[in-house]
Structure 1
């Protein structure tokens, strides 16, 4: 970074730029820590770093200052972020309070989110007590109030909670815990960044004290206003007497644009937006805030110039700049002050300060300063996809000077879109596993349509509600265009998630292609793109197989891979009408792994095994469906299912797959759903896996009695007794790894069954602190008495087992754990 001179004649010091880079790098390094250090250690590092920076500032003429600025600033940022994390972690929920009935008094801190009749809301705690004694809890809680059954009892229907109301209610809490999968969404990081250190649900059964509204406070007036506006939009646009279902969808989009309620948008609409590459427009994004700031600045400047006295007091351009950013900040606050909005406001404010200060720094330093300011305020933004997409896009536009090239405004607009799309292609593949082929066409219409028509009408509707009707019409017209594009056969192209080195090379290649350089130099970017576009994850060798037990909560979902084939056993639960394990976990995971599923096996009809099937089948149109579900099951309309019957077997790449249960006669008079679970045995002659669904004691006994003891090969060894052959005791049910029946229920895993299977490793897929108490302690004890290693998804996250390393299980929580993630002691 060379010395430059700004408009004031003052030389811009290069050590300052190196210091800014150090702030970002130090923050990024701290986010890689698995465990936090003590506060004293971070404080000592901060003191050392400050002393170094003060010395650099006092000795301005020494050239080596620029080399010291980067490590000193990095050390300071590392220490300060660590101190913030230690302070926040100090308010964590005590494990002894998890799952206990606690009386809470506090204020609803944000407008609640309603989904399927349930409420999710932030609760600002004032006091808490358990059995009449006060207890210490985190200051902010994330609670749910669910209708229907809870703990086997009928629940009171959720009340109409309003932001700012004070409530007295009973709740059960637990530490922040989410699904932990490769390439998955880090829910625990999201809670950490939102300042939430405990989740839970309202106890509203007939035996619980009824939740009681104490009164209304003046706290959180902005949230109360947001909720009021959202309710007015719903009443105006989604009125069933005057509006259609499409109008209801439009109401959700308008609520997202005006008050930042992204949860109001249907999942099907989000799928269309992602397929067409316009998802960034359908929430309060940087583009909306920037456009609002520009429009507000133009209006303020125009009005300011109408008064000579005001112009003499302060230049119109300065008033426009400050006023535009102030109004944009107000819009960002009213829309929920989300992370993208915060990031954009900080970027705009940083550039405005430089202008008001009279500094004209080169664009790399301005870009780096804005980045450092955002990271200093929110270091954990470095782990958000939006951070990288927005900053890389702005940097590419600056570097390529796309908007300043010859041509009209329309040509410049399309050139900017093409430049950003090409440059961000590798980053998009890394973050989302797919690229929208139609994004240029979609954005060519959607960007001006949403920013110049839909959003202004939606905002103006706050003052003139009839304008919401026009905005809803505009949304429906846009929906027709986007839906048509999303229906194209090749609207999106999925690609396996590349490793970081490939993504970095691809990003460099994309930037080279769009820079204003001679074409021979630009062409060097093409080979750098190839690792991203052609990357294929490593698969098992011929004759080997592997299991990936996804972390999906209370349910089953296992991905089985051979050298050239993939099978999915069960698809996890349905979480709500808009969310299931297929859409939230399996589809992103399969896309990131670059999988083409050959067969989906659904063990039986229960929702915790079939909840994500529709999403998986939609993503994998070629996959065959094998299941014991009834002929009139709703999934039969999506893909006709072949019955799983004992005796069916097939071979893939030297690996044998065999169904052991149910028998053909079982379909004549089907028993309860658990008894019809498809039992799948996978073996390669050396290692065996057994996936058993929710079979219970009767089915286990039947399996034990239906197989006869037989040798499984001279090479069969028991790792618990090295050197002792077990071929005389191994049976056709014997397996090295077992998917624990019925999630560890008391009705399964009988001693006789375990003696017949004799697993080395048992995998339990169950939800953290689930209401069924799975796995049951007596069941775990049976496995321990037989020397079986039990892997539970709450402690392990996604579990990866490979036949080439049969003694090892790779746990996602162990390999990708960071200090904000929930750590559970193994039982």
Structure 2
């Protein structure tokens, strides 16, 4: 901050020089960066000072209840404690509880655990991003039952809450199928899809922004109202559009994206009504700057950054790109450039934030956005006034878009970001191009450089990082297993994928940030959702060199709920072995094809030997399998071991006799933070303590990575901690 302020002061004299126009952007950029970082620091201090843990809380239910999976979600506006008065926090209860939750507008009191928002792992470049989610609250309330909400008076909803509840009831009464209901609610009212698969499909096609009420939908509604009023009467169209935007924003809730849409919609309406005396470029960017100055933390929000860089590409990158392509494409150069420039300008941010870019993002948006422009106001109108025939037609179109069009356009180009500086330079290059183009300077050389750099990075599949030692990383994907194993000279191996689509996307980002460029080998230990739920999503996001599962007996296929289309995994049994790089892999369980009701009993147990180190990856193997392994002669001699504890460190695994036979120096326990199973069990932790084994838990650490180094194991966690565990002295 001090260096930035000093640089800003040093540039002030340049404003009086003959070159002031050239350098005016420097203090402006530094000033905006300063506002952003000051805002983040202020928000961090404010969040840290708020109460956390069990507190007596009073407030009023402030939003309609929305079902998300197995829970109902709303918001509560607090009146106590005094330090949090006026703050609106998300609140969830079980969806199928014995007692219905209080209706919106009801004053309630409760005693609950105020949970702080957990920071994301540092290495995913997400540490500042979680603070920038301006529509999220610094604390969350997660209740085990709606009975904990004690009503202290009759419901007294505000006019705005009455309007939201009315619209929600009208929407719930519409005769819609699952896909149409998910997309209708998302487009018109900002209701998150109940089926996470719909979220994944739109994310992988580059059209995720249409599944939340954002600046796009608000601006579309305002533009539609402005066009309608302009056709009906010549005067007052801008004021009517602004009023419509305010009503719609109140209907869906004044979140950060909605506020941004209002700013941009107002700029558009005012500019159009004034005959564009204020150029649209200046108006839209002025609106974004006003938002940024009022909400500095938004300067590192992924959606904000992607929208701004796409706008840079569309407004200032398309013409230089068209000039470069005109000898090849002729008249088609400019239309093609207007489609390609936003994709190219957002490519570095997509790689850094998501681990890849959608191949068909341009075409998908070209086909989907016109439908959204029509369907958003139509769906909103049909909620208020449903018309037979038109409602069914809109539902059929949404179903086709969600089940046919968007899935046909999915496809991700995985991009490694193990080395950051090429991606950062590429992103800054598009800023420089916009600056030069806006000043009518020559941009041909810079455009050629940006195109060449983008194509080079795409051809190389990003910037890789070759491992120089054995490492095992337990990725924080909630309650479940997802391990990344890397060895020098060998391809990466993933063991399990976590419980669903979101962990699959998180794994793709981990592979990208660790510099993995090659197709990965996947081992699924057993057919439980917390280990195999992300298989289908990961297979769409990252190429798989091979997939292996334990051999089972029985007529039913236990993998059918998780299997991607066309996947034919290989089978694993005890004795199977292979090498990868300098590491030797050996399957130690199951010894045969079993047909058992508990899939944990056939969980793959994998041993990995590398030099003087040995890894035991237990999957969800239980104590009974550990005793069987002892009877079969395992674990055998090895000087130094790392154990991935079985069954998330539960009481039914990590038998003391097995741990004593292994004598691991290090144990990694994949267990989600505050998981409902209360893993790991204190008895398991005590077993490791008695053996002198250092145990690390994935959830509280935001992920754990252990690497073999000289003299021991180097451990680093997602929250920035690091430790060294020395090797045991050889037993005489």
TM-score bin (small chain)? 0.7 to 0.9
Q: Secondary structure at the match of 2:193?
A: helix
- 1:39 aligns to what? none
Match of residue 657, structure 2, among 740, 746, 752:
752
Match of residue 697, structure 2, among 782, 792, 797:
792
Q: Secondary structure at the match of 1:646?
A: coil
Specify whether residues 343 and 465 from structure 1 end up closer, same or farther in structure 2 by C-alpha distance, changes over 3 A only: same
CA contact (8 A) 1:697 1:750 kept: yes
- CA shift at 1:402, angstroms? 5.4
Deviations 1:359-387 (A, max 9, x none): 97898876764443222222221222211
Match of residue 732, structure 1, among 627, 633, 637:
637
Matched, 1:260 2:190: yes
- 2:475 aligns to what? 550
Match of residue 652, structure 1, among 558, 566, 580:
580
The CA distance in 1 between the partners of 2:316 and 2:336, in whole Å, is 17
- 2:713 aligns to what? 807
Match runs of 1:36-185 below 5 Å: 78-79=37-38, 81-94=40-53, 97=54, 105-127=58-80, 139-146=87-94, 156-157=97-98, 159=100, 162-168=103-109, 171-177=112-118, 180=121, 182-183=123-124
The CA distance in 2 between the partners of 1:136 and 1:525, in whole Å, is 48
CA contact (8 A) 1:797 1:812 kept: yes
Q: Which moved more, 1:274-283 or 1:61-70?
A: 61-70
Deviations 1:586-633 (A, max 9, x none): 344346654555543333344433333343455556522222555424
- 1:537 aligns to what? 464
The CA distance in 2 between the partners of 1:225 and 1:219, in whole Å, is 10
The CA distance in 1 between the partners of 2:85 and 2:664, in whole Å, is 42
Match runs of 1:623-702 below 5 Å: 623-627=546-550, 631=554, 632-635=556-559, 638=563, 639=567, 642-664=570-592, 667=593, 670=596, 672-702=598-628
The gaps in structure 2 that reach 5 residues or longer are: 723-732
Specify whether residues 142 and 629 from structure 1 end up closer, same or farther in structure 2 by C-alpha distance, changes over 3 A only: farther
CA contact (8 A) 1:93 1:197 kept: no
The CA distance in 1 between the partners of 2:568 and 2:358, in whole Å, is 30
Using structure 1 for the length normalisation, give the TM-score: 0.72
- CA shift at 1:736, angstroms? 2.8
The CA distance in 1 between the partners of 2:457 and 2:99, in whole Å, is 48
The gaps in structure 1 that reach 5 residues or longer are: 1-25, 30-44, 129-133, 149-155, 239-246, 306-315, 574-578, 710-730, 817-827
Specify whether residues 697 and 668 from structure 1 end up closer, same or farther in structure 2 by C-alpha distance, changes over 3 A only: closer
Matched, 1:294 2:216: no
- CA shift at 1:70, angstroms? 7.2
The CA distance in 2 between the partners of 1:394 and 1:780, in whole Å, is 53
Deviations 1:198-223 (A, max 9, x none): 33433439xxx565555554445434
Q: Which moved more, 1:110-119 or 1:382-391?
A: 110-119
- CA shift at 1:655, angstroms? 0.9
The CA distance in 2 between the partners of 1:455 and 1:261, in whole Å, is 13
The CA distance in 2 between the partners of 1:225 and 1:351, in whole Å, is 27
- CA shift at 1:551, angstroms? 0.8
Q: Secondary structure at the match of 1:468?
A: helix
Deviations 1:509-553 (A, max 9, x none): 667889685755532333332453222421325xx4321211122
Q: RMSD over aligned Cα, in angstroms?
A: 4.5
Q: Secondary structure at the match of 1:634?
A: coil
Specify whether residues 771 and 228 from structure 1 end up closer, same or farther in structure 2 by C-alpha distance, changes over 3 A only: same
Specify whether residues 298 and 343 from structure 1 end up closer, same or farther in structure 2 by C-alpha distance, changes over 3 A only: same
Deviations 1:705-746 (A, max 9, x none): 54379xxxxxxxxxxxxxxxxxxxxx4365432112332233
Matched, 1:222 2:160: yes
Match runs of 1:188-267 below 5 Å: 189=130, 193-194=134-135, 196-204=137-145, 211=149, 213=151, 216-238=154-176, 247-264=177-194, 266-267=195-196
CA contact (8 A) 1:682 1:689 kept: yes
Q: Secondary structure at the match of 2:472?
A: strand
Specify whether residues 335 and 28 from structure 1 end up closer, same or farther in structure 2 by C-alpha distance, changes over 3 A only: farther
The CA distance in 1 between the partners of 2:546 and 2:603, in whole Å, is 20
- 1:465 aligns to what? 386
Match runs of 1:493-508 below 5 Å: 493-497=413-417, 499-507=419-427
The CA distance in 1 between the partners of 2:132 and 2:72, in whole Å, is 17
- CA shift at 1:558, angstroms? 0.8
The CA distance in 1 between the partners of 2:226 and 2:192, in whole Å, is 27
The CA distance in 2 between the partners of 1:585 and 1:480, in whole Å, is 24
CA contact (8 A) 2:64 2:168 kept: no
The CA distance in 1 between the partners of 2:42 and 2:170, in whole Å, is 43
Matched, 1:454 2:375: yes
CA contact (8 A) 1:567 1:597 kept: no
- 1:770 aligns to what? 675
Structure number with greater Rg is 1
Specify whether residues 438 and 530 from structure 1 end up closer, same or farther in structure 2 by C-alpha distance, changes over 3 A only: closer
CA contact (8 A) 2:40 2:297 kept: no
The CA distance in 2 between the partners of 1:140 and 1:281, in whole Å, is 25
Specify whether residues 352 and 449 from structure 1 end up closer, same or farther in structure 2 by C-alpha distance, changes over 3 A only: closer
